[in-house]
Structure 1
């Protein structure tokens, strides 16, 4: 179980669980309803696929590593003497579970969810797999942040709210019509800035801390293109942009006032961000990026839960 936990990096699953919970919080605060079956199905499918992509990421890093010490002592596959066959079998099993649950959910909702799910699968599998993995381009943070930070809350809302009250897409060939509730869509997009930015920052922090290791293994990441100074500026900006989005949403009256509760975490988040950029290190300071992910999104979730309780 310990090896399994390290292979799928269970400690990083907060990056998908928190956006999922934010989506639930937004549904409760805005529509005061929850489709429990759809929510559970999506939650399980999302976790299974997240674990599959993480295991695939470790497999690809192991296969393509140029540094023998990394393969034998750092990567979990070499360190735990796992066989590639066993890892591939685990990945296939997880993807199969995620696909089965996803198709069941499509059957319970509509074809739009199939398109959304396929797009998320493409990004997740293409992050480290294929002829040109996204992780080897300076856009990995963008794709991971948007897919998880916006895609997960969006699908969470979509499977819980009737299409006529959120977003409806109708195809009657050759005509395609899209209708939606703009305040609800705008509110969700502004809520999603927080998880998008903090998830992207976890990826950026990981790449900053692994800069020397990535250089040895010929992995090109965003910090290599931007340089240390610009990367640290981006990190600080992403640490706080979610708070500005929430304020904008409250001012525009598309988010409940209680969302501003998230502001209580801002001083700690800013302090952690400054400590990390002063000394990016995987063992000593990387945990601060994870803490910021939890603090920022957790405080926003608390505000949404309070808003749901007050207006219920």
Structure 2
């Protein structure tokens, strides 16, 4: 039991909501928009996604453990499970390899049943996921972390989660015939899906932004030049405010797609707790106390979209 607890801390299981909610959002969207859902494909993507998300987190913790220059403070001594539990770095590396290979295997099984679009987006996501935490200049150590995490975890995951349930032409298609590669994208459907995924995109970017705001002092000491380090705390907090209002861009799209205004009303009501959380975090940004509010905001806004679409599926109240 103790080993399980250490493992869950190493992979920061509580943060997996950042990949699971976009996954659920895309799955429910496919059901709502295309009236299609395949449980076997859903389970394969779930396994591949969760394992890969845990892999990248473990890599990030191992990389921080190896590269850390400042070895005192909350972020290093408590947040990093390798330090907190005295884990063997070699054992952690072996675990990372096992999780990565298992994730790839599940992903390839999914590709075999869905096609080249999933292979292309999966390979791109795998590459970005590795580069996010590893390499000579990890994305997480640059002012691009919010952009990459938001787009890839918020939109790409949602897109693939929806795509695997379609017939292959409703969103995008990649063909390879006679040495000729063809790519086609349904721009309207992709744009609609992008807007619907905005709460996930911006919510995940908000989590990364809040994390970097809390870690500004330690990041400077460890030469991590994140977005808040570049623009300063005041502008970073202003951006933190703005993204949650921008996340409401999907509301009119859902109405156009047939979600009744009464069903969509809870989306606007989420602003009440979200605004309260924004104010609380802005007054005292801290990893140990208020950072969790960014995760709560993301979870609330994204889960609300999932709930609204589920209601629209079971209560087809068109107008």
TM-score in terms of structure 2 length: 0.92
Q: Distance in 1 between matches of 2:114 and 2:28?
A: 20
Of 86, 107, 110, the residue aligned with 1:105 is 110
Of 57, 60, 84, the residue aligned with 1:57 is 60
Task: Label 1:195 to 1:99 Cα distance change in 2 as closer, same or farther (>3 A).
Answer: same
Please say if 1:247 is aligned against 2:245.
no
Deviation at residue 98 of structure 1 after TM alignment: 0.6
Q: For the Cα contact (< 8 Å) 1:264–1:299, is it kept in 2?
A: no
Please say if 1:216 is aligned against 2:221.
yes
Of 189, 207, 219, the residue aligned with 2:194 is 189
Residue aligned with 2:9, SS: helix
Residue aligned with 2:270, SS: helix
Residue aligned with 1:61, SS: helix
Please say if 1:152 is aligned against 2:152.
no
Task: Label 1:74 to 1:104 Cα distance change in 2 as closer, same or farther (>3 A).
Answer: closer
Q: Distance in 1 between matches of 2:266 and 2:173?
A: 31
Deviation at residue 174 of structure 1 after TM alignment: 6.2
Q: For the Cα contact (< 8 Å) 1:187–1:254, is it kept in 2?
A: no
Give a deviation string over 1:83-139, Cα, whole Å, max 9, x none: 110110111011001100001111111122111111000110001201111011100
> In angstroms, what is the RMSD of aligned CA positions?
1.8
Please say if 1:277 is aligned against 2:245.
no
Of 248, 255, 259, the residue aligned with 1:256 is 259
Deviation at residue 221 of structure 1 after TM alignment: 1.0
Stretch of structure 1 that moved more, 175-184 or 121-130:
175-184
Q: For the Cα contact (< 8 Å) 1:30–1:308, is it kept in 2?
A: no
Q: For the Cα contact (< 8 Å) 2:154–2:204, is it kept in 1?
A: yes
Task: Label 1:152 to 1:61 Cα distance change in 2 as closer, same or farther (>3 A).
Answer: same
Q: For the Cα contact (< 8 Å) 1:247–1:260, is it kept in 2?
A: no
Q: Distance in 1 between matches of 2:107 and 2:17?
A: 20
Deviation at residue 171 of structure 1 after TM alignment: 3.3
Q: Distance in 1 between matches of 2:78 and 2:211?
A: 18
TM-score in terms of structure 1 length: 0.94
Q: What is the 5 A alignment of 1:10-25? A: 10-25=13-28
Task: Label 1:209 to 1:72 Cα distance change in 2 as closer, same or farther (>3 A).
Answer: closer
Deviation at residue 76 of structure 1 after TM alignment: 1.4
Q: Distance in 2 between matches of 1:49 and 1:303?
A: 28
Task: Label 1:175 to 1:111 Cα distance change in 2 as closer, same or farther (>3 A).
Answer: same
Q: Distance in 1 between matches of 2:265 and 2:33?
A: 15
Q: Distance in 2 between matches of 1:74 and 1:87?
A: 16
Q: For the Cα contact (< 8 Å) 2:259–2:309, is it kept in 1?
A: yes
Q: For the Cα contact (< 8 Å) 2:196–2:254, is it kept in 1?
A: no
Q: What is the 5 A alignment of 1:195-206? A: 195-206=200-211
Please say if 1:38 is aligned against 2:41.
yes
Task: Label 1:12 to 1:73 Cα distance change in 2 as closer, same or farther (>3 A).
Answer: closer
Please say if 1:238 is aligned against 2:243.
yes
